């Protein structure tokens, strides 16, 4: 498999997943220079001109959440994704796509400093950037974690969310809510994230 990314990409959230799955040696890392990300050579691989992107034989998977889901299922014997017939499969997918959807949208809007008035103007058509809703969703999920998002078993969704929270807190996009702490302290003990500096700082 080839993994196209950049050292500054938020797609680096996938690196701990490679460790959890024990597939680091199976991944050929390809550094994509941001100055060349829209060159024809890379656009033939990913027309969106974005990283990360994973190529596994004929399959070309872009979007971080899709890569998380794909790899956790491909290596299902590692136990990082609930089985297709497990009722908690839906809960697991909910958190993967929350990270990639509403949470990422909120983070991008905060980073870009979109005026609140502009967000409110579009509120009826768009749900993105709704801080109250994002915070309420996170707080409820953290309170219900037992001890992980889908119960007793750690999954790829826990890894993605913990990394994303740590990233957002580190860059002062998201406050470190009290509700985060039990979950974050539990996840940060895993071997796969010992070198993730901003997670270890929490």
Residue 129 has a pLDDT of 61
Question: How would you write the pLDDT of the chain (202 residues) with one tens digit per residue?
Answer: 999 999 999 889 999 999 999 999 999 999 999 999 999 999 999 999 999 999 999 999 999 999 999 999 999 999 999 999 999 999 999 999 999 999 998 888 888 888 878 877 776 666 666 788 899 999 999 999 999 999 999 999 999 999 999 999 998 999 999 999 999 999 999 999 999 998 999 9
CATH number of the structural domain spanning residue 23? 3.40.30.10
CA distance linking residue 17 with residue 27, whole number of Å: 12
Domain finish residue from 78, 101, 132: 78
Domain finish residue from 58, 78, 98: 78
Domain that holds residue 45: 2-78
How many domains does the chain divide into? 2
| Same structural domain, 154 and 72 | no
| Same structural domain, 65 and 103 | no
CA-nearest of 99, 79, 89 to 161 is 99
Query: Does residue 83 lie within any of the structural domains?
Result: no
Q: At what angle do helices 64-74 and 156-170 cross, to 10 degrees?
A: 150
CA distance linking residue 161 with residue 183, whole number of Å: 10
CA distance linking residue 52 with residue 64, whole number of Å: 7
| Same structural domain, 55 and 147 | no
Query: Does residue 84 lie within any of the structural domains?
Result: no
| Same structural domain, 35 and 95 | no
């Amino acid at each position: 498999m080839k993994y196209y990314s950049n050292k500054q990409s938020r797609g680096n959230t996938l690196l701990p997943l490679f460790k959890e799955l024990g597939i680091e040696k199976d991944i050929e890392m390809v550094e994509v220079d941001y100055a060349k990300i829209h060159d024809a050579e890379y656009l033939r691989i990913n027309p969106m001109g974005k990283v990360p992107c994973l190529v596994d034989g004929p399959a070309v998977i872009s979007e971080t959440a899709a890569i998380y889901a794909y790899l956790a299922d491909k290596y299902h014997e590692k136990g990082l994704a609930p089985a297709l017939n497990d009722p908690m499969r839906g809960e697991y997918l909910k958190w993967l796509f929350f990270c990639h959807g509403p949470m990422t949208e909120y983070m991008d809007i905060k980073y870009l400093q979109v005026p609140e008035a502009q967000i409110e103007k579009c509120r009826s058509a768009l749900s993105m950037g709704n801080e109250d809703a994002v915070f309420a969703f996170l707080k409820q999920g953290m309170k219900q974690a037992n001890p992980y998002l889908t119960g007793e078993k750690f999954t790829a969704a826990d890894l993605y969310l913990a990394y994303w929270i740590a990233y957002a807190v580190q860059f002062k996009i998201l406050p470190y809510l009290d509700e985060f702490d039990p979950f974050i302290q539990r996840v940060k003990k895993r071997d796969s994230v010992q070198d993730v500096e901003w997670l270890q700082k929490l």
